[in-house]
């Protein structure tokens, strides 16, 4: 049974962390631990395991549980008990999604982030979408969040009406909008109380714009590379220093675009390996590794230099 009247995750910056593989494509646990620890030391609020950047669709159920368990354990053993762990639990059936939510709770996650099934996009009517998320939330032992990412759900793009209706469920406590639609975000933040429902943009290029529109912060890929820079934008915004925050936000927007153009997952691993020296560039097929070149990473390099100055 799901918790009654669940509360949303705390506001702040969340990172859909990449996972690491060795040359045999097995989980590289030392590299994952090193990455989790650097993110935590960078001040982030929470870590999302099995987000799209975590190659969720490429992991077995047991690998997913192990990645969550290692993340929670690494945080706890290093004095970062306050850092939240969110687990991506989307699957192509309601039954499997429920199982992944139960697994996530058992492995130590505090929240689940749930993608809408998309193998039959034409059959995913508003009624089926609403029923799916409600049934998953009913069954989940930890609070769930709605993950809207049209790029990975065959173009299914949830409206603010659908997400707003789901927000009324006692165990659905937030959303990640990787559509980057600030208008949609603002409609949600202005109609659902933040104490009940946390609305996060899913891309760094609208981080500050989302905050101005009432968002809870960010759940984005780019903090894998620059957690401190994102926390600085958040700090400046909270201090009312919008002009200063906007200058850093411009850099985040350019760097986020470069990272997306490179191929986010491989690009993150390549940049982290190059500049922080842990992990590797291995991804699971059919994805390919990324080679960084000066002509394609000028803004990323500028952001990394700024990150290291903080």
Catalytic residues: 147, 176
Instruction: DSSP letter for 192, please.
Output: S
Say if CB 264 and CB 53 are below 8 A apart.
yes
Q: HSE of 183 in the Cβ direction (CA atoms, 13 Å)?
A: 2
What is the distance, to the nearest Å, from the Cα of residue 189 to the centroid of all Cα atoms in its chain? 19
For residue 199, report the phi and psi dihedrals to the nearest 5 degrees: -105, 115
275: its two tokens: 């500049």
CA distance 298 to 292: 10
Closest CA to 2 of 85, 90, 105, 113: 105
**Which regions of 19-153 does DSSP assign to beta strands (E)?**
46-49, 84-88, 111-115, 144-148
CA distance 177 to 175: 6
Sheet of strand 172-177, all strands in order from the earlier edge strand to the far edge:
198-201, 172-177, 144-148, 111-115, 84-88, 46-49, 12-16, 217-219
CA distance 157 to 155: 6
CA distance 74 to 95: 30
Cα–Cα separations (whole angstroms), residue 240 to 219, 235, 236, 267: 22, 9, 6, 33
185: its two tokens: 């975000």
Pairing status of strand 217-219 against strand 12-16? parallel
């Amino acid at each position: 049974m799901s918790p009654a009247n669940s509360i949303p995750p705390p506001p702040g910056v969340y990172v859909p962390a990449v996972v690491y593989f060795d040359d045999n494509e097995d989980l590289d646990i030392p590299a994952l631990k090193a990455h989790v620890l650097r993110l935590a030391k960078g001040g982030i609020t929470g870590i999302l395991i099995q987000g799209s950047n975590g190659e969720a669709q490429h992991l077995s159920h047991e690998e997913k549980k192990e990645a969550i368990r290692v993340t929670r354990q690494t945080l706890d053993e290093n004095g970062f008990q306050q850092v939240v762990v969110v687990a991506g639990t989307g699957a192509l059936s309601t039954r499997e999604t429920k199982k992944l939510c139960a697994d996530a709770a058992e492995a130590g996650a505090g929240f689940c982030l749930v993608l809408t099934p998309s193998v039959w996009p034409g059959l995913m009517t508003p009624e089926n979408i609403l029923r799916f998320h409600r049934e998953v939330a009913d069954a989940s032992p930890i609070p769930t969040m709605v993950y809207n990412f049209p790029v990975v759900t065959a173009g299914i793009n949830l409206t603010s009406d659908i997400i707003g209706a789901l927000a009324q469920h006692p165990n659905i406590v937030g959303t990640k909008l990787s559509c980057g639609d600030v208008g949609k975000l603002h409609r949600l933040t202005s109609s659902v109380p933040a104490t009940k429902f946390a609305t996060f943009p899913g891309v760094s290029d609208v981080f500050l714009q989302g905050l101005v529109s009432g968002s809870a912060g960010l759940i984005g890929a780019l903090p894998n590379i620059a957690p401190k820079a994102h926390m600085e934008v958040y700090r400046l915004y909270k201090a009312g220093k919008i002009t200063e925050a906007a200058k850093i936000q411009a850099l985040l927007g350019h760097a986020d675009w470069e990272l997306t153009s490179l191929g986010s997952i491989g690009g993150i691993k390549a940049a982290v390996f190059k500049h922080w020296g842990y992990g590797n560039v291995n991804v699971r097929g059919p994805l390919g590794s990324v080679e960084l070149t000066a002509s394609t990473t000028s803004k990323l390099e500028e952001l990394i230099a700024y990150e290291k100055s903080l």
